[in-house]
């Protein structure tokens, strides 16, 4: 695994949170994107070498809606940049981690992504992400 690529924060109201985090970082998000298959609308802030992703549910069945209902707003996942997501998934499975999707899927911000179940990582949802060739 390379660096922390971004930290995902679950929010109830993306518009209000965009405003809040723009004040916090002193700049607006550089992109906003809906990933319908994941039931989320996201926005991304560039903060030094890492990014912050805000996530709002697009429907009540969204994993983000369920997360907020259970735990409230807050840090949802930590994403790590990987060079070869397929190799990394195979390695982590071998090490005994529970990979939620063994085939990487399209995520926001031009990435291939896979998630590790928080039960196998001390309660932290881990995202692996690899930049897709443009």
Binding residues for Zn ion, rule: CB under 5 A, are 8, 53, 79, 127
Between CA 30 and CA 51 the distance in angstroms is: 10
Q: Tokens for 32, please give them.
A: 């906003």
Q: Taking the complex as a whole, how short is the minimal distance between the CB of residue 9 and Zn ion, in angstroms?
A: 10
Nearer to Zn ion, 75 or 90 (CB): 75
Residue nearest to Zn ion (CB): 8
The Cα 10–Cα 17 span in angstroms is 10
Cβ nearer to Zn ion, comparing 85 with 96: 85
Cβ at position 125, least distance to Zn ion in Å: 9
Structure tokens at 92: 């982590």
Q: Please, which residue, 22 or 50, has the CB nearer to Zn ion?
A: 50
Q: Cα separation of 126 and 134, whole Å?
A: 24
Cβ at position 130, least distance to Zn ion in Å: 12
Asked if 92 contacts 99 with a C-beta cutoff of 8 angstroms, the reply is: yes
């Amino acid at each position: 695994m390379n660096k922390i690529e971004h930290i995902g924060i679950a929010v109830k109201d993306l518009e209000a949170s965009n405003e809040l985090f723009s004040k916090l970082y002193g700049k607006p998000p550089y992109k906003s994107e809906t990933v319908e298959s994941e039931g989320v609308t996201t926005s991304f802030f560039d903060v030094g070498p890492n990014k912050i992703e805000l996530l709002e549910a697009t429907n009540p069945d969204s994993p983000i809606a369920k997360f907020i209902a259970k735990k409230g707003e807050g840090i949802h996942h930590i994403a790590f940049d990987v060079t070869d997501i397929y190799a990394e998934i195979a390695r982590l499975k071998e090490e005994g981690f529970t990979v939620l999707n063994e085939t990487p899927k399209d995520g926001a911000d031009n990435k291939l992504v896979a998630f590790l179940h928080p039960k196998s990582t001390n309660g932290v949802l881990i995202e692996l992400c690899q930049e897709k060739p443009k």
